[in-house]
Amino acid sequence: MALIIPKRYKNKLLPETTEVAIKMIKDTFEQKLSGRLNLRRITAPLFVLSGTGLNDDLNGVERPVNFPVKAIGDRRAEVVHSLAKWKRTKLAAYDVAPGYGIYTDMNAIRADEDLDNLHSLYVDQWDWEQTIADNDRNLDRLKRTVEKIYACLKETELEVYRHFPHITPRLPEAVTFIHAEELRRLYPGLTAGERENIAAKEHGAIFIIGIGAPLGDGKPHDGRAPDYDDWITENEDGHQGLNGDLIVYDSVLGRGIELSSMGIRVSPDSLMRQLQATGKTERAGLDFHKSLLEGTLPASIGGGIGQSRLCMFLLQKAHIGEVQAGIWPEEQISACREAGIFLL
Catalytic position from the list 82, 120, 125, 300 = 125
The DSSP bridge pattern shows strands 101-109 and 122-131 to be: antiparallel
Residue 110 annotated as catalytic: yes
Catalytic position from the list 127, 157, 245, 322 = 245
Residue 245 annotated as catalytic: yes
Range 268-271 contact pairs with CB under 8 angstroms and sequence separation of 24 or more: 268/292, 268/293, 268/295, 270/230, 270/232, 270/233, 271/226, 271/227
Residue 56 annotated as catalytic: yes
Per DSSP, 108 falls in state E
Catalytic position from the list 110, 195, 265, 309 = 110
Classify 303 as helix, strand or coil.
strand
Residue 332 annotated as catalytic: no
Distance from CA of residue 49 to its chain's centroid?
23
Helix ranges restricted to H, 70-186: 86-93, 139-163, 180-186
- Taking a C-beta distance cutoff of 8 angstroms, is the pair 238, 268 a contact? no
- Taking a C-beta distance cutoff of 8 angstroms, is the pair 232, 274 a contact? yes
Catalytic position from the list 76, 222, 258, 291 = 258
Amino acid at 330: E
Catalytic position from the list 34, 82, 130, 261 = 261
Using CA atoms, how far apart are residues 42 and 83, in angstroms rounded to an integer? 12
Catalytic position from the list 30, 34, 56, 255 = 56
Residue 258 annotated as catalytic: yes
Using CA atoms, how far apart are residues 278 and 27, in angstroms rounded to an integer? 39
Residue 122, H or E segment = strand 122-131
Which residues are marked as active site? 56, 110, 125, 245, 258, 261
